[in-house]
Amino acid sequence: MSGAGHATRHWRNQRISAIALVLLGGWFLFSLLSLPDPGFDSVRAWLAAPLQSALMLLFGWSALWHSAQGVQVVVDDYVPGAWHGRARWASRLLHLAAALAVAWSVWVLAQGAPA
Amino acid sequence: MQAPAPAKAPATLPVRPLSPHLQVYRLALTTVLSGLHRISGLVLTLSTPFLVAWLVAAACGADAYASAARFFGSWPMRIVLAGLIGVFWYHLFNGLRHLAWDAGYGFGLARARASGMAVIVLAGAAFAATLALTPAWRWLLELP
């Protein structure tokens, strides 16, 4: 169980990530779907631009952060007993692993398209 | 209000009043939309591995990306991805509705119903616009 104060912070952070995702999610969807084609060259050219790769990192991280916050609420509501803590930690670790994978990918993509 | 005590409570559990659960209520638009918000959020969570796999494949190189593209371009995945666009818009617009409530706006049954209808209309329109105004529909239908 989280201590007093954690719940307020969680509630506030969930709204912060939600507001960020309204903008970043819209950016991601329209940028991706506006590509002339979803092929390797188009995607690498798109995400080689500094601003675009920065936005992709922000989008990926906010999406995973918001996802972790949402899963925590669901776990708090539906998973009782000993599995409650395990489920929360499993979700955190999976989301953290995904966030690291996103960071590594975006870093590679920002180096530019391969010749 | 006094809660009726359960007839036979196990001795080890504290006797607490239980709030009425889902089956007590008549299903209303607001109830369905509220449940859909959580379900759509979980669906989007379950789709984050697609996002990560796609980024990692692009970072790994042309061969890895070609494998990912074959997977995402398969017919079941085309349908899933098109559906995810709709789920995304629903969760976004209903999320804005929740943010408005958090800020203290839009309470009352009539206004909650009206904003719920607005969410359905806006999500549907955004879904249609996303597919119609971008090259996405050509890709989804495997057109050149």
Instruction: Give yes or no for a contact between B48 and A64, defined as CB atoms under 8 angstroms apart.
Output: yes
The partner residue sitting opposite B52, judged by closest CB among A33, A35, A102, is: A102
What one-letter code names the amino acid at A111?
Q
d(CA B107, CA B66): 50
**Is the pLDDT score of A4 beyond 60?**
yes
Mean pLDDT value across chain B:
89
Compute the distance between CA of residue B12 and CA of residue A80 in angstroms, rounded to an integer. Answer: 17
Q: Is the pLDDT of residue B41 over 60?
A: yes
- The complex scores an ipTM of 0.93
* In the predicted structure, residue A1 carries a pLDDT above the cut 90: no
Q: How many CB pairs under 8 A join A and B?
A: 86
Closest residue in B to A23 (Cα–Cα):
B92
Confidence label for B21 from pLDDT (cuts 50, 70 and 90) = confident
Residues 6+ apart with CB under 8 A from B107: B101
Residue in chain A nearest B51 by alpha carbon = A60
Higher pLDDT, A112 or B10: A112
pTM for the whole structure: 0.88
Q: Across all residues in chain A, what is the average pLDDT?
A: 93
Tell me how far CA of residue A28 lies from CA of A53, A60, B49, B90, in angstroms.
Answer: 11, 9, 16, 16
Token couple for A92 = 């955190």
Residues A22, B59: C-beta atoms closer than 8 Å: no
Closest by CA position to B99, among listed A67, A100, A12:
A12
Provide the shortest C-alpha distance from residue A3 to chain B (in Å).
23
pLDDT surpasses 70 at A66: yes
Chain A from 5 to 64: CB within 8 A of any B CB: 15, 18-19, 21-22, 25-26, 29-30, 33-40, 43-44, 47, 56, 60, 63-64
CA distance A96 to chain B (A): 12
